[in-house]
């Protein structure tokens, strides 16, 4: 729910982070806390198959606040929006287009068409009410080139549409856009050292299957789904890189 003390943040010095509770958005949150005076988070409940993500969000926020006192003072409210309708839309689209999606583009069946456009529009509406002039989001071209709404071109167009539609500058920062998963680990280390990497390993959620029983050196997950494989491969490249450096 949006609280009453709207526009309490100062535009330009404050940011709203799209925060899912995963590795990428956790690094984005740290990136924003390092730069801005005031940082709030927003998440979306779209009836994701694994609601563990929503629990991870709260846990990661509290772990970061506990581990980094300087950041704790900047970390403001969390907003969770109910987007149940997105589940209806994506189910329909996936059912109808599943064969095409698998055959032609290689897009994973987890792709929810237009999801990021909807997220960014709603986040901008909340940021506007809260007086924040920028959004921070973890979209990335490097590992997910198949997701058309993760491309910077899409983000640029969205940024322009939002700024025009709100009649105020709404900047969208995507610090991970050209960064691969190994570099994401390195960024986490630069921003918050081993403590942040530890929070990411222990408390963020990535696995498509919602598995959280097995602890790997890169974190919790089944280890076999595409999300786990990507995260594990990134971790290995990062470790090899830092060992060789
Ligand atoms: Zn997995």
How far is the centre of ligand 1, averaged over its atoms, from the C-alpha of 226 (Å)?
7
More confident position, 194 or 2: 194
The Cα 86–Cα 127 span in angstroms is 21
The Cα 27–Cα 187 span in angstroms is 7
Q: Is 101's pLDDT higher than 50?
A: no
Beta strand 219-220 pairing with 215-216: antiparallel
More confident position, 58 or 99: 58
Neighbouring residues of 197: CB distance < 8 A, sequence distance ≥ 6: 185, 188, 189
Beta strand 134-136 pairing with 171-173: parallel
Q: Is 111's pLDDT higher than 80?
A: no
How far is the centre of ligand 1, averaged over its atoms, from the C-alpha of 222 (Å)?
4
How far is the centre of ligand 1, averaged over its atoms, from the C-alpha of 142 (Å)?
20
10 phi and psi angles, rounded to 5 deg: -100, 120
pTM score: 0.87
Give the number of C-alpha atoms closer than 13 A to the C-alpha of residue 132, restricted to the C-beta side.
Answer: 27
Q: Tell which residue, 178, 177, 99, 98, has the closest CA to residue 137.
A: 177
Residue 95: pLDDT band with limits 50, 70, 90: very low
How far is the centre of ligand 1, averaged over its atoms, from the C-alpha of 129 (Å)?
37
Neighbouring residues of 8: CB distance < 8 A, sequence distance ≥ 6: 130, 131
Residue 5: pLDDT band with limits 50, 70, 90: very low
Q: Per the structure block, which two tokens stand in for 222?
A: 């089944």
How far is the centre of ligand 1, averaged over its atoms, from the C-alpha of 211 (Å)?
6
Hey, what domains does the chain have and what are their CATH numbers?
A: 14-181 (3.40.50.620)
How far is the centre of ligand 1, averaged over its atoms, from the C-alpha of 200 (Å)?
15
pLDDT (tens digit per residue) in 176-234: 999 999 999 999 999 999 999 999 999 998 888 888 888 999 999 999 988 899 899 99
Alpha helices in the chain (DSSP H): 23-35, 52-67, 69-72, 84-100, 115-130, 152-166, 181-203, 226-244
pLDDT recorded at residue 93: 45
86-114 CB burial, b ≥16 within 10 A, e <16: beebbeeeeeeeeeebeeeeebeeebbbe
The Cα 224–Cα 209 span in angstroms is 9
pLDDT (tens digit per residue) in 30-45: 999 999 999 999 999 9
Residues 125-152 have a mean pLDDT of: 87
Let me know the angle formed at the C-alpha of 232 by 226 and 236, rounded to the nearest 5 degrees.
145
How far is the centre of ligand 1, averaged over its atoms, from the C-alpha of 238 (Å)?
19
Q: Is 65 exposed, middle or buried (0-12, 13-18, 19+ CB in 10 A)?
A: middle
Residue 102: pLDDT band with limits 50, 70, 90: very low
How far is the centre of ligand 1, averaged over its atoms, from the C-alpha of 124 (Å)?
31
The residues whose Cβ lies within 5 A of ligand 1, an ion, are: 207, 209, 221-222, 225, 228
């Amino acid at each position: 729910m949006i609280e009453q003390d709207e526009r309490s943040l100062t535009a330009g010095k404050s940011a709203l982070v799209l925060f899912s509770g995963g590795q990428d958005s956790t690094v984005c949150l740290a990136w924003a806390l390092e730069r801005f005076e005031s940082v709030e988070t927003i998440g979306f409940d779209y009836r994701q198959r694994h609601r563990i993500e929503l629990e991870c969000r709260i846990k990661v926020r509290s772990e970061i606040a506990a581990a980094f006192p300087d950041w704790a003072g900047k970390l403001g409210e969390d907003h969770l929006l109910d987007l149940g309708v997105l589940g209806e839309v994506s189910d329909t689209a996936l059912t109808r287009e599943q064969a095409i999606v698998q055959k032609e583009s290689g897009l994973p069946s987890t792709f929810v068409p237009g999801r990021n456009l909807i997220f960014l529009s709603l986040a901008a509406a909340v940021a506007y009410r809260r007086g924040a002039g920028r959004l921070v989001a973890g979209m990335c071209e490097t590992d997910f080139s198949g997701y058309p709404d993760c491309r910077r071109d899409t983000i640029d167009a969205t940024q322009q549409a939002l700024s025009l539609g709100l009649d105020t500058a709404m900047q969208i920062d995507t610090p991970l856009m050209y960064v691969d998963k190994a570099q994401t680990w390195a960024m986490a280390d630069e921003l918050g050292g081993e403590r942040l990497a530890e929070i990411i390993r222990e408390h963020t959620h990535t696995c498509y299957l919602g598995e959280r029983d097995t602890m790997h050196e890169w974190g919790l997950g089944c280890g076999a789904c595409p999300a786990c494989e990507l995260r594990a491969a990134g971790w290995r490249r990062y470790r090899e890189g830092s060992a060789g450096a």
